[in-house]
Amino acid sequence: MGWQSTVKLTPHMFRHTWATRKLSFLIESYKGKDSSRPLRDIHLQAMDMLRSLGGWSISSNMPALYAKRFIHEHANVLNLRRIEVESEELAQVIAEQVNEV
């Protein structure tokens, strides 16, 4: 009896994982090279490179779909960090109020 998965792995799943991780890597590496460049320019350059590496035509929207996902995931991470900082600040304020009583 072997392990049986209910999830069927498909080539599309591997391509999706590759594309999202590669785009993230490209954006971060381009940001590191020139932090003064507008983020829009960095995203466009990364999408062009992903388009080339993925074999999509110049008119393909696939890199834009992966870029949209990257933006959503990145926004979620930043939002979680903001919530964490605000929670810590709120905890300090409450502790100060409790200590004054």
Q: What is the pLDDT of residues 14-61, one digit of tens each?
A: 888 899 999 999 999 999 888 788 989 999 999 999 999 999 999 999
Q: Has residue 101 got a pLDDT over 70?
A: no
Phi-psi region of 55 (alpha: psi -120 to 50; beta: other; left: phi over 0): left
pTM of the model: 0.67
pLDDT of residue 8: 79
Q: Which helix (H) or strand (E) holds 12?
A: helix 11-33
As a whole number of angstroms, the distance between CA 78 and CA 51 comes to 27
Mean pLDDT of the chain: 88
Q: Has residue 1 got a pLDDT over 60?
A: no
